[in-house]
Structure formats: structure tokens, C-alpha cells
Amino acid sequence: MIEIINDTGKYEYEIHSLTKAFYPEEEIKVLCGSGQGDDEAALVYVFWDGTRREISVQMTDRDELKRTLYLRLCDMTGKTLPWGTLTGIRPVRLAARRLNAGKDRAEAIDSMKKDYYVNDDKAELAVDIALRERQILSRLEKDSCSLYINIPFCPTTCLYCSFTSNRVGKDRGAVKDYLLALYREMEAVAPLLKSRTIDTVYIGGGTPTTLEPSELEELFCRIMACFDLCKLKEFTVEAGRPDTVTREKLRVMKKFGVSRISVNPQTMNEDTLKLIGRRHTAPDVVSAFRQAREEGFDNINMDLILGLPGETVKDAEYTFSKVLELDPDNLTVHSLAVKRASALRTLIDEKGYPPYEDTAEMMEKAIQRCRESGLFPYYLYRQKNMLGNLENTGFAKEGKFGIYNILINEEVCDIVALGAGAVSKRVDEDGTCSRSANFKMLDQYIANADEMGLRKEKLFRSKWFT
């Protein structure tokens, strides 16, 4: 535990998150000091062993405070952070802002380095992604929207899972009740979307391919009946767990125009797969991927997680080799995020897995392997509690970029989200993003599906019908 006595009188969140990035395994408490918020103020760090260290920070504004605090923390720990002072989840936005203000690539990179102490690689990554996103988004119609549908069921719960996902057992009654409720919500929302252009549909979860082929077929029929998809540019279904993928399901998806799927290994190391509770093997991944190719899917994403418990850089390299042998069109590389409430947190606390100092090296190698394989970075986001304060990055071959991934991360277009736990987003001209969330728990959602439809009407009506 580290207690920080904060004499700045403000910036509690910034002080907490930046310190946490340097001391990821420590609990950090920021306590109010007696200062009045002058331009220069003191922070007293009281460490777990009782030692105290007083540092002074400039606080003319938030960025200046973070810069001076960052330099002091570098001195104290002997570490630097790849993303410098940035602790927020969307560094690409900051790069995009610089480009939109007229800076060229080199100037935007310089500015990211100077303003946030981001290292060379990350500054280039953020700016290049911002440039690519701009190009991809320019192909979308103005005022179009996206549709997200959540299927919150999985075969088992992964160790690191932080979603509300329900295990599908033999009793499929819950799935059937859920789908009926989802159809009620779709019907309630359909009139609202009548005159809208839908660019992308994304069916996520959970694992949508836990649905039986007949259930998938009915879901697609209902979507087609409720919404006009004639201008659709991308139709994604997450088939994340390879053990849920069958030829029959792939054929149903193909028949209804699904253009992009995800088959997610996370790792190709058998011991880790067992440890994280995925219930599938590495050969299952290969088999699901090959079947999807044989059924004509030419845009397949694979998700990987770096820093899984017990994995070394060598293990990660083995996974890259096995996955890249399959020649996926998209590769999404995540850094493990250890959520406080996850089973993984408990396991780490009990077994004392070492902190994953190697994750940064794994990420560097992943970026290099993707480059060599003709996969370009096109979206990036960060989460709280990510190992090494790193990032999640989506890579894709030219022409295979996942549009929805950019839209959801950068909040640049309206998203109508259906199903339990789904969050709709309305984005106004000035960039303001307003949200409306559905009930997360299955029983609450099922009992209130029609009302979830009305919530969306409330969110979008004043934008779409005035």
C-alpha cells in the first residue's frame, strides 16, 4: 500500500492513476493534505515500509502536473512508461486532435512525445492509427449508424472474464427466453431505425456461436425483418470460442451475409488454455479456423492475450508463430487486464504469479511480427489495470479493417445496442457522447425488454426526428 498526502488540493484521480501505472501491484490511496492549490505543491509518498518521500509538483494545469509527477516517479522507480503520462483509454484521439488541428505526421508525433512523454514507438503507433482511422471513416455515410446485438452466453467462464456472461449448460431454457426478449426489443426499436442507414452490424457477447444453428438462423431472419441492411458495409459475428464453431453454424452465417468473424485462441499453449478455463485446445482453434476458410470466410479475426499467468516471451512467440501460420486477416493483440473482481485476481493473489515485466517485450515482438506479416495497426484502446500500462491493438490486412471496432472505440457515430448489458451511444455534432444502458442481468432484461426499446427512443429521438 502507498498512501499519498496530496497538498495540491485537487487532481486526485490523475495522481492516483499515474502512481498506479508505476506501482501496478500496490494499493494506492490519495489523502487530502492541507495545501490550497498553489502553482507548486507537495505530495508526500508514504510507502508500505513506513519510508516517506516528499516531492514537489508543478500544477499550473493538469498536463503540467502529470508531466512533473511523471518525472519524479521515473526518478523514484528507475522506470519509464511507454505511454508516458497518458493513463486514459484513448490515446489515438489525442493524436487525431493534433492531425485535425493541421499538424502533419511528424509534427503530431513530436507533439505527443513532448506533451505526454510518450516513447517514439507509441507516438508513431498512435499517429499512424489516427491517420488510418481517418481514411477508413471517410468512406462512411454522414449520419449513418451501427447496430450491436449482445448474446451473453459462453460455454464456460474464462479466468480473466469481466463481462456478465452466462454459462450455457444442458438447460437451454434461459437462451430461449433471452432470444424471445431480444426479438421484442428489436421490434420496439425497428420503427426508430426505419430511415437510418446502417453501416455495420456486430453480434458480440459472450459467444454468439453458443446458439444452435436453428437459433442463429431465426436471429438472422428477425434482424432482416426488422432492419434495412441494404447499405451494410460490414456484418461481424464473434465466434470467439473455437469449440462452439461448427460447419452448420458457419453455413448459416454465410447464408445471411456475415462478412467477418472472430475465432479467438488467446494463446496456443495448452497448459495456459487449461489454466484460463477455455475448455478448447490449440488444434480446436486450427480446425475452426480452417473450416471457416473452407466455408468462404475471407475476413477472420483472431484475438490474443499477452501476459497470461505463467507465460514467457518464448510462449508468446510460439503463439504468434502458430497463429500467423493460419494467415488471419485481422489479429487483435490484448495486454492482460487483471480486473479486481475476476477469478484471475484471486489466483494471482493466492499463487503469487510474478508480475509480468515481460509483457512490454511480448507487445514489441507482436507488433514486429504483425508488420512482417502485412498486418497494419488500425485501432487501439487501453483499459484500467492493464499489465505494463500497455494497450490493445487491432491489426489487419489492407482492406480488411474492422470498421465497427473503430466506431465503438473512437465514439464517432451512433450505435444502437440491443440485448442484456448492451450500451447504446448517441454522438452529437460537437462530439458529445450520451449513453443508454440496458439491464445487465438476464432476468431483469427479459422482464423489461420492451422498456429497453423505449430507452433508445428517448436517447435518439431528439437527434433523428427534429
Please give the residue ranges that form the binding site for ligand SF4 (CB under 6 A): 154, 157-158, 161, 163, 165, 205-207, 240-241
Q: How far is the CB of 434 from ligand SF4 (least distance, A)?
A: 26
> Which helix or strand (DSSP H or E) is residue 260 part of?
strand 260-262
> What are the backbone dihedrals phi and psi of residue 293, each rounded to the nearest 5 degrees, phi first?
-60, -45
Task: Identify which of residues 69 and 182 has a Cβ nearer to ligand SF4 in the complex.
Answer: 182
The angle subtended at Cα 164 by Cα 265 and Cα 92, nearest 5°, is: 65
CB within 8 Å of 334: residues ≥ 6 apart: 303, 304, 305, 306, 392
Q: Tell me whether residue 84 or residue 205 sits nearer to ligand SF4 (CB atom).
A: 205
- Of 241 and 455, nearer to ligand SF4 (C-beta) is 241
Question: Minimum CB separation from ligand SF4 for residue 105, in Å?
Answer: 36
205/453 with CB nearer ligand SF4: 205
Closest CB to ligand SF4 among residues 69, 337 = 337
Q: What is the 3-state secondary structure (H, E, C) of 54-116?
A: EEEEECCCHHHHHHHHHHHHHHHHCCCCCCCCCCCCCHHHHHHHHHHCCCCHHHHHHHHHHHH
Q: Where are the alpha helices (DSSP H) in 420-448?
A: 442-447
Minimum distance, C-beta of residue 382 to ligand SF4, in the bound complex (Å) = 18
Element (H, E) at 235: strand 234-238
Nearer to ligand SF4, 239 or 323 (CB): 239
Cis amide prior to 173 (ω within 30 degrees): no
Give the number of other Cβ atoms within 10 Å of residue 176's Cβ.
Answer: 11
Of residues 184 and 339, the one with the C-beta less far from ligand SF4: 339
Place of cell 486532435: 97
**Nearest-approach distance from CB 420 to ligand SF4, in angstroms:** 12
Give least dist CB 33 to ligand SF4, A. Answer: 41
Distance CA 112, CA 122 (A): 9
Nearest-angstrom CA–CA distance, 213 and 288: 15
CB of 331: closest distance to ligand SF4 in angstroms? 17
Look at residues 198, 180, 203, 187 and name the one whose alpha carbon lies nearest to residue 422: 203
Separation CA 382–CA 54 (nearest Å):
30
Q: Which of 380, 302, 388 shows the shortest CA–CA distance to 337?
A: 388
CB-based contacts of 349: which residues, under 8 Å, 6+ apart? none
**Rounded least distance, CB 142 to ligand SF4, Å:** 33
Neighbours of 397 (CB within 10 A): 16
Considering the complex, what minimum distance in angstroms separates the CB of residue 416 from ligand SF4? 21
Residue number with CB closer to ligand SF4 (259 or 262): 262
Shortest CA distance to 440 belongs to which of 189, 89, 166? 166
CA–CA separation, 154 and 157 (whole Å): 7
Residue 240's nearest CA partner among 259, 273, 202, 266 is 266
Instruction: Find the shortest distance in angstroms from Cβ 139 to ligand SF4.
Output: 30
Closest approach, Cβ 164 to ligand SF4, in A, equals: 9
CB-wise, 33 or 277, nearer to ligand SF4? 277
Nearer to ligand SF4, 58 or 156 (CB): 156
